[in-house]
Each structure stands twice: as structure tokens, then as C-alpha cells.
């Protein structure tokens, strides 16, 4: 396939941009090589998909220079020049934006000592920034750059006591620095958990000291970043409801990138609390997912990650909002990637039935499609839970339950694709469920079974599905007999 980089650049253009691009190759300002226009016309028929089979080197060369012997260097040189012109066109598109054009002209005025124009445009750009809703990292950086260029211009009167560009520039730098440090700090704290690598975040103690002086307190968006870092590091306890209220009231003042950063760190925090056993956070998580949908924070380029899709349904079911969960599945399945979409829908519909204790309807849904590797553990665990629940009602399910447990255990012992620290909790879970079902089948004393189960769960070893097993232990207190 020819011109991989070029093809990616051309695919990034919308139809109108691609159509107008032809003018670049017609203009002597940009090129005097007629092959560039000919190349554009040859490529135009393949836009926007540019199917690789239609773009073989020899085929395209013949379209450009019919009758000539294939020359790979000549073709590569053409595409190198065409790629450069495409990049120039992308820059031109950006410069057409009013603000970007203004910035470029201001820099040009400054370099060419057109000071009157430079000063006027600098003031105008600063005024434009003030009119924006954002007071974030990009806002303070742009102000810092403008004030610095203005103050240090050789024709600037540096001894004008009424001028505040120097003080403003210093303040903007401070604000930008704190924003950048906190944003990096949040990312590093998150990476530390995932990669188990320690990163040094310098000057955090300086920010802490300035915070006590009110530097952060007076800026609500800086406060959000500061609290978000504390949520990630869990160095101190903050009033989460206050963070939540400030975040959602400040969304219009945040760019989408920062909205998502702060939203997901808050969401991950409450999920961590729920995973520790604080079930009161289930409703909080459910409400956060609803807000994530309302403000389109769960979407990325028109797609919804399967984790967000599944979690929305899981926590809706945990708080018994079954109709909401069903409606969500119906209305948002279009945002799932087509790959594995049917499986994701069936799996979540199976969960929906499971939470409503409609266990017989779960099994067909789990068996209907091939299970992706990423869901192998989840689906097998759900199947075992369902079979155990059915076994409690009908002992004829015991053999199937034991077969599924043994097959899962065999899979865990043979797989080399999963780290051992992820496998062990599932092995402990299988061992406990297997023994629990045998003890129940033998009609052992329920209090003794419960005591044994609670002792197992209180061990320091990691066990998957611990909350579900605790729930079963609680049911043993109520259950007085087990009918064979």
C-alpha cells in the first residue's frame, strides 16, 4: 500500500475540506508541479475509504505516468511532497479560525517591530480570553505567553507605573504552574496504581503551603484539581458531596477534556469505596453514571466503552432500577463498537435477569455467543453463581455446577495469558463454592457451615466474589433446612 501517512491525513479531512483542498494544487503559491494536481485527482476517486487493494504502488504509478517503467523512488518522492502540502493545508485550515489568525498576526507584528499593531492585538487577545468561560490551564498559559511577549518587547515602556502586564504575567505563570502540576499529579497517581511505579511530583509541598494561604481556595477549578488529586492519592479525607456539588456546578467552565478527567477520578473514587464493602455508594455510583450520560461524559467520539456501558447497568440493578437499566440497554446499544456488540448486550441482559433472580433466563444468554478473552472470568463466575442459586432450589443442578467449577479451575491452571495474582482469587472462590455446595448437599448443620464460610472469608487471602459469598453466609442464618 502506498503513502500510509498521507492516507491517514486525507481520511482526517471532512468531505468539504477534501473538496476545497484541490485549490492548493491549483495555486502557484503552493506548488508549480502539475503532478501534484494530477495526484489529487487520482486519489479523489478513492476518498474517504482509500481501500488498500486499489492503492497498490504499480497500479497508482501507471495512473500517474502511463506507459513509463515503474520507478519506486519517483513515486515515493511524489508522496513525500504531497504529504507536506497536505500538512500545509491542515495548518491553513487552523489559521482560518479567527483567534488563531489573530495570534499569528500578533506574533508577526511583534517580530517585525510593528509595535502599535502588536500592542493593540495583544490587548484584544487578552480581552477575548477574559470573555471565555474557562479559567483553566490553557487560559492561564495563553495569558502568560501574551503578557510575557508584551512586557519583554524591546519597544515596551517598562517603567510605566500604570502598566500591570508584568504582575499579570507572573500571576498567570503561577496559576498555570499549579494547574499543570496538579493535572500531572492526578495522572501520575493513577499510573502508580496501575503500573506500580513511583513517580516524584516536585513542589507539591509548595502548592500545599500556598493552598493554606488561600491561593487555591479562591479558584474553584483549581480546588477541584486539588481535591481530585487527594481522592486519587487518598492522603486525606474530603467531603465527597462537596466535591460532587462543585464539579457539576463548574462543568460549563471546564473544557471537555478536564470535565472527563475530574468526572472519572470522582467516579473511580466512589467505585473504590463500594468495592471496599460500603454499599451505600451504589446509589452514588448509579447517579454518577446518569450524570455521565446526561453530560455526554461517557462517550468518546460517538462511542461508549463497554466498561461504562456494563457498569451503568450493574449499578442500576444493584439499586433495583431495573426498568432504567433495560431502557438504557435499548437506547445506548448503538454507541457500542460493532465488534462484540451482540455479546455485550446478551451478557448485560443476563446480568439484568440475574439481579432480578430470574436465573433460568441467564444461562441461554451466556451460552449464545463466543466469549471474548477479556470476559472469560466474568462470564464463568456469573454462570457458577447462577448454577449455585438454581442448585439451592433444585439439587439436580449440582452435577452441572461441579462440572463448571472443575472446568473453570482446569482453565485457570492451564492458561498462560493471565497473571497469577489475578488467577488465585478465582481459585479460592471456586474452592469455597465447591465445598459449600457439598456441605449443603450433605445437610450439615447450617450454623457450622456459616461459621466455616465466614472464617474462610475473613482470611487474608484474596477471594473473588467475596460480597456474594457473604450474602450466602447471611442466608444460611435464615435457611433452616436444605431439601434434597
Q: What is the pLDDT of residue 96?
A: 67
CA dist., res. 352 & res. 278, Å (int): 22
Q: Give pairs for 35-43: CB < 8 Å, separation 24+.
A: 35/64, 35/78, 36/78, 36/81, 36/82, 36/85, 38/64, 39/64, 39/78, 39/79, 39/82, 40/82, 43/10
Residue-range domain boundaries for the chain:
4-95, 98-177, 371-484
Q: What is the pLDDT of residue 33?
A: 94
E strand or H helix at 358: none
CA dist., res. 148 & res. 24, Å (int): 36
Give every residue of the chain whose pLDDT is below 70, as ranges: 1-2, 52-55, 95-96, 233-238, 477-484
CA dist., res. 168 & res. 15, Å (int): 43
Q: What is the pLDDT of residue 54?
A: 55
HSE-up of residue 325 (Cα within 13 Å, Cβ side): 25
DSSP string, 282-344: HHHHHHHHHHHHHTT-SEETTEE-HHHHHHHHHHHHHTT-HHHHHHHHHHHGGGS-STTHHHH
Give the closest residue to 355 by CA, choosing from 391, 332, 395, 326: 326
Give the closest residue to 231 by CA, choosing from 221, 220, 243, 222: 243
At residue 280, the 3 state secondary structure works out as coil
Q: What is the pLDDT of residue 238?
A: 62
C-alpha cell at position 206: 509548595
SS in 3 state form for 422-446?
A: HHHHHHHHHHHHHHHHHHHHCCCCH
Instruction: Provide the phi-psi class of 326: left if phi over 0, else alpha when psi is between -120 and 50, else beta.
Output: alpha
Q: Are 29 and 89 in contact (CB under 8 A)?
A: no
DSSP class of 70: P
Spell out the residues 6+ positions from residue 321 whose beta carbon is closer than 8 angstroms to its own: 286
CA dist., res. 240 & res. 409, Å (int): 41
Spell out the residues 6+ positions from residue 205 whose beta carbon is closer than 8 angstroms to its own: none
C-alpha cell at position 475: 442466608
Q: What is the pLDDT of residue 235?
A: 46
Q: How far is CA 207 from CA 69, 134, 166, 211, 220, in A?
A: 67, 21, 22, 6, 15
pTM exceeds cut of 0.85: no
CA dist., res. 147 & res. 171, Å (int): 10
Q: Give pairs for 153-157: CB < 8 Å, separation 24+.
A: 153/110, 153/115, 153/118, 154/113, 155/113, 155/115, 156/115, 156/119
Query: For residue range 342-399, what is the model confidence (pLDDT) as tens digits?
Result: 999 999 999 999 999 999 999 999 998 888 888 989 999 999 999 999 999 999 999 9
Q: Are 373 and 417 in contact (CB under 8 A)?
A: yes
End-to-end CA distance of the chain: 67
Amino acid at each position: 500500500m502506498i503513502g500510509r501517512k498521507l492516507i491517514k491525513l486525507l481520511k482526517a479531512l471532512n468531505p468539504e475540506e477534501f473538496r476545497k483542498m484541490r485549490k492548493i494544487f491549483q495555486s502557484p503559491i503552493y506548488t508549480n508541479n502539475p503532478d501534484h494536481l494530477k495526484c489529487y485527482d487520482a486519489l479523489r476517486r478513492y476518498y474517504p475509504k482509500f481501500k488498500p487493494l486499489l492503492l497498490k504502488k504499480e497500479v497508482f504509478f501507471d495512473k500517474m505516468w502511463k506507459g513509463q517503467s515503474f520507478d519506486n523512488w519517483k513515486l515515493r518522492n511524489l508522496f513525500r511532497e504531497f504529504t507536506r502540502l497536505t500538512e500545509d493545508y491542515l495548518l491553513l485550515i487552523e489559521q482560518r479560525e479567527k483567534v488563531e489568525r489573530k495570534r499569528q498576526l500578533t506574533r508577526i507584528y511583534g517580530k517585525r517591530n510593528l509595535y502599535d499593531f502588536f500592542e493593540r492585538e495583544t490587548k484584544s487577545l487578552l480581552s477575548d480570553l477574559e470573555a471565555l468561560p474557562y479559567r483553566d490551564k490553557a487560559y492561564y498559559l495563553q495569558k502568560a505567553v501574551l503578557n510575557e511577549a508584551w512586557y519583554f518587547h524591546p519597544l515596551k515602556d517598562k517603567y510605566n507605573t500604570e502598566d500591570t502586564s508584568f504582575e499579570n504575567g507572573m500571576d498567570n505563570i503561577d496559576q498555570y504552574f499549579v494547574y499543570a502540576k496538579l493535572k500531572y499529579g492526578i495522572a501520575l497517581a493513577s499510573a502508580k496504581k496501575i503500573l506500580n511505579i513511583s513517580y516524584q511530583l516536585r513542589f507539591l509541598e509548595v502548592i500545599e503551603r500556598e493552598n493554606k494561604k488561600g491561593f487555591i481556595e479562591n479558584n474553584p477549578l483549581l480546588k477541584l484539581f486539588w481535591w481530585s488529586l487527594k481522592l486519587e492519592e487518598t492522603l486525606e479525607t474530603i467531603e465527597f458531596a462537596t466535591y460532587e456539588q462543585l464539579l457539576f456546578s463548574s462543568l460549563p467552565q471546564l473544557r471537555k477534556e478536564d470535565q472527563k478527567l475530574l468526572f472519572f477520578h470522582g467516579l473511580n473514587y466512589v467505585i473504590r469505596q463500594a468495592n471496599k464493602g460500603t454499599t451505600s455508594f451504589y446509589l452514588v455510583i448509579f447517579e454518577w453514571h446518569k450524570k455521565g450520560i446526561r453530560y455526554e461524559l461517557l462517550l468518546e467520539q460517538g462511542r461508549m466503552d463497554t466498561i461504562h456501558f456494563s457498569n451503568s447497568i450493574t449499578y442500576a440493578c444493584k439499586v433495583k432500577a431495573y426498568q432504567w437499566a433495560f431502557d438504557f440497554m435499548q437506547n445506548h446499544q448503538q454507541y457500542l463498537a460493532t465488534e462484540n456488540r451482540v455479546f455485550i448486550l446478551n451478557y448485560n441482559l443476563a446480568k439484568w435477569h440475574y439481579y432480578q433472580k430470574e436465573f433460568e433466563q441467564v444461562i441461554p444468554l451466556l451460552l449464545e455467543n463466543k466469549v471474548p478473552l477479556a470476559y472469560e472470568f466474568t462470564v464463568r463466575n456469573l454462570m457458577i453463581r447462577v448454577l449455585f442459586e438454581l442448585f439451592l432450589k433444585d439439587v439436580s443442578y449440582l452435577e452441572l455446577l461441579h462440572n463448571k467449577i472443575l472446568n473453570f479451575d482446569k482453565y485457570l491452571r492451564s492458561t498462560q495469558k493471565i497473571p497469577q495474582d489475578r488467577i488465585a482469587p478465582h481459585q479460592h472462590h471456586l474452592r469455597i463454592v465447591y465445598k459449600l455446595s457439598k456441605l449443603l448437599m450433605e445437610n450439615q448443620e447450617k450454623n457450622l457451615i456459616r461459621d466455616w464460610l465466614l472464617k474462610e472469608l475473613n482470611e487474608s487471602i484474596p477471594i473473588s466474589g467475596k460480597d456474594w459469598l457473604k450474602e450466602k453466609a447471611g442466608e444460611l442464618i435464615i435457611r433452616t433446612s436444605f431439601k434434597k
